[in-house]
């Protein structure tokens, strides 16, 4: 679950790329920040319902780009009442104390053929770690679409406390997926 938050932040950062140096704003209604984990060997998926971000990017000079994405940790849902009730709690995201997760990309780099990597820092539950988010990007007019996926270890960010701190019940690895649509808000 925690990994999905981290992935969500990274994906949002990648959505800001444009054909010219431009500022892009994430459109949460058209975007999705998801996560996939496993509990007792059974896979489950979820998403964050509330996130926002601003990205600045120039494909000709990706290293000068940057992004700032905020994810509301209490907005994580899986469709399972028990999981959805537990995720905002103190053992998982501790949303009352840490209401947001944050991804700040300090640069981007091209990896070829419309693929990029956003390099930055992901912060969840007050724990910050470097994160590289690979993604693909397509720009059409004033709309950019970025799709990416990254693997996180939830306990690196303190997600899963007490009985949940080991992989006994819930796997430590979480895949975070981003499908971001961003609109150019400045040239």
What are 24-40's pLDDT values in tens digits?
Answer: 999 999 999 999 999 99
Domain that holds residue 160: 2-186
- pLDDT of 154: 97
Contacts of 95 (CB under 8 A, 6+ apart): 72, 73, 74, 87, 88, 89
Among the listed ranges 19-23, 38-42, 103-107, 146-150, which one has the minimum average pLDDT value? 19-23
More confident residue, 101 or 5: 101
Domain count, the chain: 1
Q: What is the pLDDT of residues 49-82, one digit of tens each?
A: 999 999 998 877 898 899 999 999 999 999 999 9
Q: Are strands 76-77 and 51-57 parallel, antiparallel or unpaired?
A: unpaired
CATH number assigned to the domain comprising residue 64:
2.40.128.110
Burial class (CB in 10 A: 0-12, 13-18, 19+), 54: buried
As a whole number of angstroms, the distance between CA 49 and CA 34 comes to 9
């Amino acid at each position: 679950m925690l990994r999905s938050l981290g992935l969500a932040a990274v994906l949002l950062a990648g959505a800001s790329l444009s054909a010219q140096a431009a500022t892009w704003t994430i459109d949460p209604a058209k975007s999705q920040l998801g996560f996939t984990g496993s509990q007792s060997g059974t896979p489950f998926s979820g998403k964050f319902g509330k996130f926002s971000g601003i990205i600045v990017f120039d494909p000709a000079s990706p290293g000068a780009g940057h992004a700032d994405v905020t994810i509301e940790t209490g907005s994580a849902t899986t469709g399972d009442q028990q999981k959805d009730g537990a995720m905002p709690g103190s053992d998982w995201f501790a949303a009352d104390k840490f209401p947001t997760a944050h991804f700040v990309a300090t640069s981007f780099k091209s990896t070829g053929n419309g693929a990029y990597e956003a390099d930055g820092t992901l912060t969840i539950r007050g724990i910050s770690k470097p994160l590289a988010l690979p993604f693909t990007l397509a720009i059409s007019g004033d709309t950019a679409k970025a799709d990416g996926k990254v693997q996180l270890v939830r306990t690196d960010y303190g997600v899963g406390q007490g009985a949940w701190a080991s992989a006994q019940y819930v796997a430590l690895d979480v895949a975070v997926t981003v499908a971001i649509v961003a609109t150019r808000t400045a040239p």
